[in-house]
Structure 1
Amino acid sequence: MNQTEHVSRYAWWVVGLLWVVALLNYLDRLTIASMREWIVADIPMSDARFGLLTSVFLWIYGLVSPVGGFLADRYSRKWVIIASLGVWSAMTWLTGHMHSFNSLLAARAVMGVSEACYIAAALALIADYHTGATRSFATGLHQSGLYAGAALGGAGGWIAGDHGWRLAFTLFGALGVAYAIVLLFLLRDQPRAQDKLRLQPSQPVSARAIVRELAASRSYGVLMVYIGLAGMAFWLINGWLPTYLQENFAGWRPGGALARVLPSAWIEKMELTRGTAGLWATVPVQVASFLGILVGGVWADRWGRTNPRSRMLIPALGFCCAGPCLLLLAKTSSFSLALVAMTIFGLGRGFADANLMPIVCQVINPRYCATAYGLLNLVGVSVGGGMIYVGGWLRDLHVGLAMPFTIAASGLFLAGLMLFAVRGRQPQLHCSE
């Protein structure tokens, strides 16, 4: 019988329930980038200090991610998810009530601790329910919620322009707390695959065993370098693309045939301004990523029936295309070409995000997948946080963002090449088996 016939209806409900949490995760995390002008006007700070708000979040998020993964491997994934959502939403609400840089920084730090516990637990829970040929698609569908949240995060600038930046944080935080209460009644754990197969059922997950497993895997070491290079590009774009577009393409409006078709009122609203830069920086990338994550997930699942390395090869292809496009974004003076570059970059990122947890499940013992993913998060966001800070530091030195964008483009292309060196374990040791 085909593996997809064994997937229950509730397994897809789990993906849907967690999709909303994923949306809130990135919405709360990234909306600050689109509201830079209003926050800085209210609480004066340098560009480096503003970048530090995201960098500190990412560094703490990365440091705590392996701990969050370990808790999800050892205890209830459901309760790790709900606690994470509740705490970070409360901190989002509090962010809208802060009046100094230090208090903002403290709120972002606590938010980093709480958000760190979510993603590995959520993807591991999805992997528990989707144990075969639906895994990449189910993972990708969940990850599309991250992109939806990032795209909506761009609306923070629009809300700030009309109602002030504090209202956005207050509304988003209250929504998250309410949804955490909903999950108390709707979300439930699934017996782990290794428990059903009685793989060491009496032995609890231990930190020592995890360290031995990860240290012994050459492919996991390659993944750590890969995710560091990818994180450098991803978080630089997340943190500084709105500013980059505003400074390089301010005043752009649709022209040519598009201008003749669209109503003049629409064209005026689409002009790239301080208020719309966040939307232009997030919507094209996140929509493309949304499509890439779904296409990359389905493609990997189907190709995986004949090629067990499909989940490594598809993101490798995506990054080898996305890297040069990120370089084009750093060099072009044409906003149309910049849109094309952002779109292809988004597709490549989607291919990668749909398949990262499935790759981990092929490389690492099933008992330790959440912890392994959490450690990758540590590497990716630590490097990414550093790049966000470097971007602000260079701006304070009057160096444009094109330089760090170029460095990130090279790293992304190299990351794609590195995936060709990743090899999976024997099939019977996969998380899915």
Structure 2
Amino acid sequence: MPLDSDFPQDPQPPSRIAWLVVAMLIPVALLNYLDRQMVATMKTSIMADVPGLEDRAQWGFMLGSFKWIYAVLSPFGGYIADRFGRRLVIGGSLLVWSAVTMATGFVTDYHGLVATRALMGISEAFYIPAALALIADYHRGSTRSRAVGVHQAGIYAGQIIGAYAGHVADSPALGWRFAFQACGVIGMIYALPLLLILRDRPTKPAEEKHREASMFSALGELLRNRDYRLLVIYFTLPAIAGWVVRDWMPDILKERFSLTQGNAGVYAVLPVQLASMAGVVLGGWLADMGMRRTDRGRILVSAAGMILFLPSLFGVGFSEHLGLAVAFLVLYGIGWGFFDCNNMPILSQIVPADRRALGYGLMNLVSISTGGFADWGFGALRDRNIPLTMIFGGFALIALASAAVVLAIRPRRDLAEKPEPAA
């Protein structure tokens, strides 16, 4: 039965339907990030098997190719979701990126691998802005941060499963190509029921008229918003370290502590993602509770996550023992969870509903393109033997600046959240 079959005339949806939307998107979020994490944890096998892939700078460029394409197209995906609805964008994105995931398992050289990662960037760019905007559409009151946090937990679950991809790659009976092919088939199968059941939240006639604005006028409206510009900066700065931790940590631990590829993937990913899952649940609850006292509740909780980044990033850079490095990664994961569950909710406090997917897409453009250069730059720095202590110390200072930026954001009173009716 379609999700909007029993919608009341009141634009506020019942909690049961609102949470069902989140539940249906969790598997999509899982698949979205499973593919990304598999690349990092299967690095050794892919580099050994793909002709033309010879050094870490090339590997970083391949990772960056995904991010740059993803970043450039994110605003377009967001605009289409705002203009024509979230449902078709979400389902279509899943279907296409799953086909590309399967194709990745058949590449024969480095250029083919770069091409499939770029195509992956095109298809995945449309999902996150549309999905988070849809969740914000349904969760309009005191559950918004928790709802986003539960969805983001699906992302972390995908990364956790991806942590074990190194063991799949090491298996003679399976291998890294099998992992991509299997995930692609699963995603294509799930896209069909998702498209049949998922529905957009009905909108008011005034909202439909506002959606007819061109992309350029909508972008101009966003860029004239001082608080939105601050949020773009805030969203970008922590991601510099975030992408390096996600994409390079398995290789860092493997080299630093003489681990196997499979064990390095588990140690690098499992603690961070489990801690991030706890962080989004705790951070979402704290933010929703904080909103009962002040309209800056979500901002304060997100800033607290940045403060946790300081010791964790310094610690990862300086740790000489695996157990201590993992402990600092756990602290980092909690801080990331506080940050991750509140970005769309903070955006919803400064940007109207019919600009949120575009707004988040533009945030992705700036943040992920910067992350692509961070991946590439980190590989080049490591090729030149720049100490990890220096690199991660710089990341910690960036986190401190991020906390100052988010605290400068002022929520709009006309966009204040309203209580949701009982289910």
Please report the TM-score for the alignment, with normalisation by the length of structure 1.
Answer: 0.90
- 1:258 maps to what in 2? none
Corresponding position: 1:119 with 2:128 = yes
Unmatched 5+ residue regions in structure 2?
1-9
Q: Residue 365 and residue 153 in structure 1: after superposition, are their counterparts in 2 closer, same or farther (change >3 A)?
A: same
Partner letter of residue 99 of structure 2?
Answer: A
- 1:75 maps to what in 2? 84
The alignment partner of 1:295 has SS state of helix
Contact 1:85 1:177 in 2 (8 A): yes
The alignment partner of 1:306 has SS state of coil
Partner letter of residue 165 of structure 1?
Answer: W
- 1:169 maps to what in 2? 180
Contact 2:279 2:336 in 1 (8 A): yes
1:203 is displaced (CA, Å) by 5.6
- 2:34 maps to what in 1? 27
1:426 is displaced (CA, Å) by 1.6
1:76 is displaced (CA, Å) by 1.9
Identity %: 42
1:394 is displaced (CA, Å) by 1.6
Partner letter of residue 184 of structure 1?
Answer: L
C-alpha distance in 2, partners of 1:18/1:423? 30
- 2:222 maps to what in 1? 214
* Equivalent of 2:409 in 422, 427, 430: 422
Partner letter of residue 128 of structure 1?
Answer: D
Q: Residue 203 and residue 335 in structure 1: after superposition, are their counterparts in 2 closer, same or farther (change >3 A)?
A: closer
**Correspondence list, 1:20-169, <5 A:** 20-43=27-50, 44-162=53-171, 163-169=174-180
* Equivalent of 1:362 in 349, 368, 373: 349
Q: Residue 432 and residue 356 in structure 1: after superposition, are their counterparts in 2 closer, same or farther (change >3 A)?
A: farther
The number of residues matched between the two structures is: 406
The alignment partner of 1:424 has SS state of coil
Unmatched 5+ residue regions in structure 1?
251-271
- 1:353 maps to what in 2? 340
Q: Residue 182 and residue 322 in structure 1: after superposition, are their counterparts in 2 closer, same or farther (change >3 A)?
A: same
Contact 1:213 1:364 in 2 (8 A): no
Partner letter of residue 231 of structure 1?
Answer: A
| CA-to-aligned-CA distance 1:286-321 (integer Å, 9 cap, x gap) | 000001001111111111011110111101011112
C-alpha distance in 1, partners of 2:80/2:287? 29
Cα RMSD (Å): 1.9
Contact 1:365 1:431 in 2 (8 A): no
Contact 2:64 2:375 in 1 (8 A): yes
C-alpha distance in 1, partners of 2:328/2:91? 37
- 1:319 maps to what in 2? 306
| CA-to-aligned-CA distance 1:262-303 (integer Å, 9 cap, x gap) | xxxxxxxxxx42221011100000000001001111111111
Corresponding position: 1:376 with 2:363 = yes
Please report the TM-score for the alignment, with normalisation by the length of structure 2.
Answer: 0.92
C-alpha distance in 2, partners of 1:165/1:400? 31
Q: Residue 401 and residue 243 in structure 1: after superposition, are their counterparts in 2 closer, same or farther (change >3 A)?
A: farther
- 1:290 maps to what in 2? 277
- 2:201 maps to what in 1? 190
